[in-house]
Amino acid sequence: MKNLLIICLVCIHVLSFAQAPEGVNYQAVIRTNTGDVLSNNAVGLQITLYQNTAGGTMVYQETFDASTDVFGLVNLVIGQGNVTSGSFELVDWSNGPFYLEIAVDENGGSNYETMGAQELMSVPYALYAKTAGNGPQGVQGEQGIQGETGAQGIQGETGAQGIQGETGPQGIQGETGDDGILPNGTLVGNTTFWDGTTWVVDNNNLFNAGGNIGLGTSLPGTKLEVANGDISINSPFKYKVKDAIDGDNFLMYEPTVDGIRLNGYDAVFITTTDGTNATNGQDLVVRNGRVGINTNTPSQGLLHVNGYYSDPFGNFTYYATGPNTGTAAGTNLNTSIFATHRIVAGEFNAISDERIKNIDGLSNSKQDLATLNEIEVTDYHMIDPSHGEKPVKKAIAQQLEKVYPQAVSKSTNCIPDIYKLADCKAGIIQIQNNLSSGERIRLIFENKEEITTVVSATANLIKTNQNHTGKVFVYGREVNDFRTVDYQAISMLNVSATQALLKRVEALELENAALKLKNEEFQDLKVELETLQKSVSLLIQDKTTAINQKD
C-alpha cells in the first residue's frame, strides 16, 4: 500500500449509553499526502484499542467499509464495526489509559496502513459510568461538556458518573455543566462559535467545507472565501504573497504617506487578459524606478509608453522641432498619450529630422507679419472652473480659424452648455435644454460619469438610454467640431513675423545711418553758411561806416 493518506480533524464527540448500542461517534477527513481531500472514495478503516500505551495490550479491534463524501469526510461509530478481536461492551474503561489507533486502505480493501494512535481522554469514560460505583468527588474541571439536565442520560442522582456538576468519579468536566453538548449543525462543515451565552451554529460565521473555508458563506469556492464583508489588515502588518523562498512581495498600509503600498521584489504588474484590448498583456509595470505602459521592460525615461490606439480626431495640427508646423486631415491618429488639459514641462522635444520631410520652402515672413497683426488677443475666463479660474489672455479658436486656420484643429469633446445639477429618475432628467434626439451628453453622477445618448428631449426634460435614479450634474452636449488652438503654431508664426520686423528694422537702421551722414554734411554747410553770413555782415558794416565818414 502506498503512503498516500493521512487522517486529520479527528473528532470524538457523541457517546452511546446503556439501553442503546454502545459506541463512540467518530468523524475524520481523509486527505492525500499532498493535502488534497479524498472525495467520494471508498475506503477501508481499521480501529484498534490499546491499553496503557500506544501499541500496548490490544483490548479491541474492528474494521469498517466506508465512503468519503465530497469534502473527504467519513463518519462511523466505534464499537459497531466488523469485530476482529475482543468485545467493545467488555472494555473496562476504568482501567486506562486507552489509545485509539487508526489504519486506512484508500482502495476500500483490507490492506491497511497505520496512520498513528492517540490517547483517549475524557470522552470514553462516559461508558464507564454505567457500571462504576460511586466514586470520590472529582476535581473541578475547566469547561464542562455535558448539558445541565444530562440530555444523554449521563447525569446521575448522586454524581456517580462524574460528568455532571462537581461529583463525577473521575472529576472530568466543569463545575455545573451549564454549557451543554455542542449543537448539531444543519450542513456538513458547520462550525460552532460562542455567542457569549451558548454555543451556536451559523452558516454565515465560519464554515469548514473540508478543504475550503467560508466566512459568511456555506459554499466557499476557494481555499478562503469571504462574503458580505471586508478583510482588514491592521497597520503595520502586511498581506504577504509568499513565493518559494521569501515574503518580500506584499500589500500593506504605508503610515508614512497614509496610503496603500504594493511591493514586488523585482516589479509590480497590472495585467489584463481581454484579447480585444489593444494593449493586451503587461498594461502597467513598475520596474527599476520606471513606469511602463504595454511593456514589461520600461527603459526610456521615467514613463515609457509602448504602442498606441488609433483614435478619431478629424483635422489636426501638428508641431515638430523647428518651424515645422502644419495641419493634416485624417479620421484616425496613432495616439500614445492624450490629455484633455495642459501639459507642463521644463522642456518639450519633438522628434524631427530633415531627412524625413519634403521641404516646400521658407515661410513668407512679410505675410506672416500681416497674419499675426490680424489675430485678436482676448481676455476671458473658463465656464468650467476645473479648467482654471484665473483670467486668461489668449486667442479664441473661432476668430483665429478665420485668419490662421493652420493653428486650429477639430475633435470630438463635450462643452458646458447646460452645466446644471438636476434630478434623474430611471434615466429621465428634469432640466431646461435645447437638445435633440440622438445627441450625446456628458453626465456626472456621485460615483461615476459617462457620455450617454439622448433618446428624446423637450424644453424641460431629457430622456436618456441609461436608468440612473438620483442627483446628476448635466455638463453639456458632445460636439464633433470642438476646436483646439495650437499655440506652438502661433509661436512659429510669431517667429516668422519677427523675422520680417527684423528685416524692416535693419532697413530702417541703414536708412537712418544714411540720413545721419547727410545730416552731418548739412551741419558742415550750415557752419560755412553762418561764416559767410558773418563775413558779409562785416563787409556791409565796413562799407556803411566808410560812407558815413565821407559825408
Give the pLDDT confidence score for residue 6 in this predicted structure. 52
Burial of 35 (0-12, 13-18, 19+ CB in 10 A): exposed
In the predicted structure, residue 43 carries a pLDDT above the cut 50: yes
Work out the pLDDT band at 319, boundaries 50, 70, 90: low
Reply yes or no on whether the pLDDT at 414 is more than 50: yes
DSSP for 255-270, please give it: TTTTEEEEE-SSEEEE
Mean pLDDT check: name the lowest of 333-337, 375-379, 426-430, 436-440.
Answer: 333-337
Q: Looking at the predicted structure, is the pLDDT value of residue 372 above 60?
A: yes
Q: What is the pLDDT of residue 17?
A: 41
The pLDDT score that the predictor gives to residue 325 is 56
Alpha carbons 66 and 110: distance in angstroms, whole number: 12
- Cα separations in angstroms, 485 against 39, 137, 316, 327, 411: 70, 98, 10, 12, 11
> Hey, how many other C-beta atoms are within 10 angstroms of the C-beta on 544?
10
φ, ψ of residue 122 to 5 degrees: the values are: -85, -25
Q: Please name the residue that has the C-alpha cell 456517580.
A: 160
Lowest average pLDDT, out of 157-161, 193-197, 229-233, goes to: 157-161
**Is the Cβ–Cβ distance between 435 and 458 less than 8 Å?**
no
The predicted structure's pLDDT at residue 439: 95
pLDDT at 324: 53
Instruction: Report CA dihedral (507, 510, 512, 514) to the nearest 10 degrees.
Output: -140
Rounded to two decimals, the pTM is 0.42
C-alpha cell at 87: 468485545
- Categorize the per-residue pLDDT at 143 as very low, low, confident or very high, splitting at 50, 70 and 90: very low
Question: Residue holding cell 505675410?
Answer: 367
373 by Cβ neighbours in 10 Å (0-12 / 13-18 / 19+) ranks as exposed
Name the pLDDT band for 154 (thresholds 50, 70, 90): very low
Q: Are the C-beta atoms of residues 1 and 111 closer than 8 Å to each other?
A: yes
Residue 283: the pLDDT is: 75
Q: Which three cell numbers stand for residue 253?
A: 498600509
The answer to whether residue 140 scores a pLDDT higher than 70 is: no
Distance CA 181, CA 13 (A): 9
Most confident of 3-7, 315-319, 394-398: 394-398
Give Cα 437 distance to the centre of its chain.
Answer: 37
Cβ(226)–Cβ(237) below 8 Å: no
Provide mean pLDDT across the span 394-417. 91
What's residue 14's pLDDT?
Answer: 38
Query: Averaged over 153-170, what is the pLDDT?
Result: 39
Instruction: Give the type of residue at 161.
Output: Q
- The confidence band for 462, taking pLDDT boundaries of 50, 70 and 90, is very high
**Residue-wise pLDDT tens digits, 189-221:** 788 888 788 888 875 678 887 788 888 887 888
Interval 243-273: pLDDT, tens:
645 667 788 777 777 778 888 877 888 877 7
Beta partners for residue 11, in sequence order: 27
pLDDT confidence of residue 474? 95
pLDDT of residue 233: 73
pLDDT of residue 353: 76
Q: How confident is the model at residue 455 (pLDDT cuts 50, 70, 90)?
A: very high
DSSP string, 129-158: TTT--PPPPPPP-SS--S-TT-TTS---SS
Determine what percent of the chain is predicted with pLDDT higher than 90.
22
CB–CB of 64/75 below 8 Å?
no
Q: In the predicted model, what is the mean pLDDT of residues 442-461?
A: 90
pLDDT of 281 > 70? The answer is no
User: What distance in Å separates the CA atoms of residue 308 and residue 316, rounded to the nearest whole number?
Assistant: 17
Give pLDDT, residue 174: 44
**Amino acid 177: pLDDT:** 46
Phi, psi of 492 (to 5 degrees): -70, -35
Q: How confident is the model at residue 379 (pLDDT cuts 50, 70, 90)?
A: very high
pLDDT above 90 for 432: yes
Looking at residue 489, what is its pLDDT?
84
- Averaged pLDDT for residues 533-551: 82
Confidence of residue 329 (pLDDT cuts 50, 70, 90): low
Cα gap 182→204, rounded to integer Å = 18
Residue 422 pLDDT more than 70? yes
